[in-house]
Structures are given as structure tokens and as C-alpha cells.
Amino acid sequence: MTPLKSKLGLSKPKIDRARELAAEITAPVQEFIDTHTTVTIERATLRLLGADGANDDGVPVPNLIAAQCGAKLSGGAAAFYLNALLKLDKKPAELNKEIEKGLNICEIPLTDAKRIQKKAEEIIKGLDARIAGNVTHRNAQLKLSKDKIKSPMIYVIVATGNIYEDVKQAQAAAHQGADIIAVIRTTGQSLLDYVPYGATTEGFGGTYATQENFRIMRKALDETGEKEGRYVRLVNYCSGLCMPEIAAMGALERLDMMLNDSMYGILFRDINMYRTLTDQFFSRMINTAADIIINTGEDNYLTTSDAVEKAHTVLASQFLNERFAAGAGMPARLMGLGHAFEINPELKNGFLYEYAQALMAREIFPEHPLKYMPPTKFMTGDVFKGLAMNTLFNFVSKATGQGIHLLGMLTEAIHTPYLQDRHLAIDNALYVHNTMADFMDEIEFKKDGVMARRARQVLDETVEMLEEVKRHGLFTAIETGMFAEIKRPRDGGKGFDGVYEKAAGYYNPVEAYLKKKLKVGK
């Protein structure tokens, strides 16, 4: 990312003020996070310690253990698993088999805490080596393919429901030039309070995120990457009720990016706010440890609200996501803050506003690999108009140095992409990238022109909004519909019963390891 001088004349004190407000808004939330755990944080911890598999009814081993723990989850689930490994003298794979068959590990009397801690250290040493190995491998591959990865990186989605069909489409897209492949999840997975097990071939509008599916797609993309001489990044969805578990699986299987937002689940999936805010912290520590880039979901605000009137809610949320991520030890280079090209195409000068807002995001977040989302809301089924809109979107993305560029599909609003739709989208993007390769360096803007004024206005409105959120507190702000015009009560939504106040003596060696590694907390 080339450092920029502000071409829009944005006020640095205003930007600093927004960051200060974000820190003040998130601080009380972080206090809550630090004193709580959730059922999926405990399951993620178990997964990282080796818990895996599922019983004959498809209930995953981490869920079986969590159910055995019940209220004891408030003290942490890790000790029971470690204790069972010691007492039964088994390896994780062997113990998992026993648990699948019905062994209740919470009934085994706990051995000496020191022995448990020693066992934890031994397993975490292996975990650390596995994650570090993934990071080293990825970095080596990225170095080899440096000149072949595009800027912005081209991101496409596959969504057949069948992981083996996904592989065909993903390999074709990578061959055509895609740098990043996202396997979209089946509709409804975000609301499952478990992660399904094994390879899957049935899904609607997407494919189940399972550890085996991660492995299958990783292997396929590595193969294609080798052929093309270019590392292909893999993305999945670290969101919903199992956010930290998906992060754990991604860290183990070398995913490269994760959709991961601090508020998306609350607003758009009606997941309880305490649950999501606590989960996002733990999952972001895992993502950071595994050097996984997160993609935040601000683009979604503009599908429910007007992209001109509510542009400031996107920027406000970006500041909050940035602050929450920093609180989990995440460096800016891993924060793919989201935004979108969603202004009504019939609005006069709409393109100038899009351009101004995209450049504003780039100038305010210079080191962040911004995730820029294509038009969806005003895609109608007129595929020819859709292709034209996508071309303008591609233009803005290249002209403002976005990091992660999700390609628009001309058949958006019609069906999940056909093989040829991706080809046309990639072809379009490559054409734009090449024909205006150095455009960004060539252009400057009128000091008080439409674009500079637009960017200033959005920043001003953002600071005003953050001031107001700070006055009410984030929980109340969400309750009163300040984000995406969606109201969510603090004790409502899904997954609230899976939030636990940490008991005195709460034990979680994985959390301790992550905090130490990332220098998080005191």
C-alpha cells in the first residue's frame, strides 16, 4: 500500500477525534468481554486442544463436552479435557472416540492443577508450532507469487452447496485470475450453535463450513496455486453463533481470510449483543495469531439503509471495528475494513460520491487492506446494465487503491454465479486494472469540489455520530437502532444463554497463550 497525502483535504484532528471516541466507546464493552466467556469460546478452546469428531447423531465432540460441563463452563472447559487425557492416558484422537461413544469427561475427578497445566503446555506447544508452520508456509508462497497477485486482490465467491462442485468452480476461477476464493456458507449456518462435521454435499445458497471442507478446498487451491505459480487465498465466514470455533478451524487449516465483524451478527442475524461482542474478541485473537486477514461487514449497512444518507454509519463502524480488533492484538495490516459501492445508479453525481467515499476510507485507513464490496442492491436482472455498473465499481476500486476487491457478478439478484459469470467479472476487472494502472498517481481533486466536500461531510457526520454513541454507550446505541436502523434489545437475540460470567479461578490455557503471544491485556 503506497502512503498517501490527503487528496481530499481531510482534517487530521477530526480523524484523531474519531479514533479517540472509538476507544472510549469500546473500553466499557471490553470490560464486559474480559470478565465473560461463552459456550462457543469454550468449544473453540477444546478444538484447539484437540477435541474433534462427532457422534452418530452428528453432535460434535466439543458440543458433547460443553453439554457435559453445563454450568461448570463458567470455570472453563479445558481442565476437564486435559484431565481426561491424563487420567485415561490417551491421545486426543483416542479420547474423542470415547467421548463420541458416550464417555462423560466431567465426571472424572480432577487431578492436580499443576499436572493439568503441564499437559496444556505440551499441547499448546504443538498448536503453536502448527499455526506458526501455516504462517511460514503462507508467507513463503506469497513471496514467490508476489508479482502475480493483483492490486487490489480479486476476490470471488463459490456457493454451490457441494464442496466438490465448489472445488471445480474455485479452481476455474483461480485459473482465470482470482486471487481470493470465498466459499460462501449455506443459508442458516450462522444460527447453528454447532459446527457440522465432515465433508458436505448439500447446502442452500452455499456450503457448510466444516473443518473437512476447509481441508478439501485448501488442498485444491494449493494445487491450482502451484500450477499457476500464484498462491490463492481461501476465505470463510467467522461469524454467527460459532465465530471462535470457525476461527480455530481456520487457524488449523490455513485459511487466509475470515469474514469477521464485531456487530454484524447482532444487527443482521439477531444474535445477542453480549454473545457476539465477547466472541469477536476471542476469535480475533485466534485470527491474529494465525495471521489471518479479517473482512468486516460494513457493506451490509448500505443494503438496509441509504448509501448516501448513511455513509457515516459505515465509517463509524469501521472505527469501532478497528478499535475492537486492535484490542485483540490485531495489527492494521490484518484489518480488512468493509465498505461498498451501493449508491442508487440514478442519482446525479452518484459516481463522484462513491469515488469520494472510497478514497476517504483509503486515506483514513492507510495500512488496512480495505474490503470493497460491489453493487448488489440496485442490480435488477438487467445483466448488461449490471456489467456496466460493475465496470464503474472496478474503476473506483483501482483508482483508490482498495486492498480486497470482491467482484460484482452481472447476474447478481438472479442466481448464484455461473462459471461464465465469474469469467466475465474477472475479465472486466483485469481490463480495468491494466488500462488505468497508474491512474491513481496521476489524479488530484479540486480543493472545494464535489468530492472533497462529500468526504468532509461524511467525516463530520461520523464524528457527530460517534459522539452520540459515546453519550449513550454502545449497548444502548444498538438498542435504539443507531446502526443500520435495526434495533436489538441487549437481553434479546439468539445465544444469550450461552454467555457466562467467568467464575473465580476460571481456567483457559489457550486464552492465556493467545494473550501472551499477542501481548493483549495487562
Partner 1 sequence: MFIKPYGDTSNDGAVQLSFTLPVKNCGRAKEAARLYVQKLGFQKVDVVHAAALSEDFTFFVAYGKTDVSLDYDKVEYAEAVDKYMSMDEVNEFIKTHFKRKLVIVGACTGTDAHTVGIDAIMNMKGYNHHFGLERYPMIEALNMGSQVPNEKILAKAKELKADAVLVSQIVTQKDVHIKNLTELIELAEAEKMRGKTLLVMGGPRVNNKLAKELGYDAGFGAGTYAEHVATFVVKKLYERMTTRK
Binding mask 374-413 for partner 1 (x = CB under 8 A): --xxx-xx-------------------------------x
Residue 181 burial (10 A CB sphere; 0-12, 13-18, 19+): buried
- When the beta carbons of 159 and 459 are compared against partner 1, the nearer one is 159
56, 107, 147, 346: which one binds partner 1 (CB under 8 A): 346
- When the beta carbons of 189 and 295 are compared against partner 1, the nearer one is 189
Q: State the Cα–Cα distance between residues 197 and 125, nearest whole angstrom.
A: 26
The SS3 assignment for 303 reads helix
CA-to-CA dists, residue 274 to 219, 466, 471, 472, angstroms: 36, 20, 19, 16
In the complex, the smallest distance separating the C-beta of residue 132 from partner 1, rounded to whole angstroms, is 34
270, 467, 468, 479: which one binds partner 1 (CB under 8 A): 270
Q: State the Cα–Cα distance between residues 457 and 460, nearest whole angstrom.
A: 5
CA-to-CA dists, residue 292 to 139, 282, 332, angstroms: 11, 14, 12
Pairing state of beta strands 233-237 and 371-373?
Answer: unpaired
Instruction: Indicate the helix (H) or strand (E) that contains 259.
Output: strand 257-259
Backbone angles phi, psi at 36, to 5 degrees: -130, 155
- When the beta carbons of 117 and 304 are compared against partner 1, the nearer one is 304
Q: State the number of binding residues for partner 1 (CB under 8 A).
A: 36
Q: Is 264 a catalytic residue?
A: yes
What strands, in cross-sheet order, belong to the sheet with 233-237?
335-336, 293-295, 257-259, 233-237, 180-183, 153-158, 404-406, 371-373, 338-340
Please, which of residues 229-268 interact with partner 1 by CB under 8 A? 268
- When the beta carbons of 142 and 172 are compared against partner 1, the nearer one is 172
The answer to whether residue 453 forms part of the interface with partner 1 (CB under 8 A) is no
Please, which of residues 167-186 interact with partner 1 by CB under 8 A? 171-172, 175-176
In the complex, the smallest distance separating the C-beta of residue 88 from partner 1, rounded to whole angstroms, is 40
CB atoms under 10 Å from CB of 208, counted, come to: 23
Which one of 33-41, 275-283, 372-380, 395-403 is the stretch in contact with partner 1 (CB under 8 A)? 372-380
Which one of 31-39, 81-89, 113-121, 301-309 is the stretch in contact with partner 1 (CB under 8 A)? 301-309
17, 115, 423, 470: which one binds partner 1 (CB under 8 A): 423
Please, which of residues 306-325 interact with partner 1 by CB under 8 A? 306
Among the listed residues 256, 279, 299, 421, the single catalytic one is 299
Asked if 161 contacts 186 with a C-beta cutoff of 8 angstroms, the reply is yes
**Computed over its alpha carbons, how large is the radius of gyration of the chain?**
23
67, 140, 144, 419: which one binds partner 1 (CB under 8 A): 419
Tallying the residues shown for the chain, one arrives at 522
Q: Is 147 a catalytic residue?
A: no
Which one of 45-53, 144-152, 302-310, 316-324 is the stretch in contact with partner 1 (CB under 8 A)? 302-310
Catalytic residues: 264, 299, 371
- Contact residues for partner 1, defined by CB under 8 A: 161, 171-172, 175-176, 187-188, 190-191, 204-205, 268-270, 303-306, 344, 346, 376-378, 380-381, 413-416, 418-420, 423, 427, 485-486
